[in-house]
Amino acid sequence: MLSEKKLEKIGKILGFERIQSLEAGQVDELQVTISNAAAAIKHAQDELEANPQYQELKENLKALSAGLRDVKKFQNAVVQYSLHLIEEKGK
């Protein structure tokens, strides 16, 4: 079940009329609604992936963040090995 806070957030997004429409639906209708929503999300993702400008931006972000990824990878290894040594030394 959803919390009251989550239900309020969803209500603000959907609006009163859409909430009423969903509440009036039978289980099979709600299942179709879920399927349609998933299809709409997939369609929007496919359109975004097909956009050349998005692909270029994605590649630029990947290139720009390479240094951060390397630092995080190295520093996480330092932390993990240090924790291993602390455990090994009985602390």
Token pair listed for 72: 């995080």
* Residue 80 to residue 56: CA distance in whole angstroms: 35
Q: Tokens 């349609």 — which residue?
A: 36
* Residue 73 to residue 16: CA distance in whole angstroms: 47
* Residue 62 to residue 36: CA distance in whole angstroms: 32
What is the model's pLDDT at position 40? 98
| Overall average pLDDT of the 29-57 stretch | 98
Token pair listed for 51: 């956009």
Residue 87 backbone phi and psi in degrees, to 5: -65, -40
pTM, two decimals, is: 0.68
| Overall average pLDDT of the 21-45 stretch | 97
What is the model's pLDDT at position 90? 86
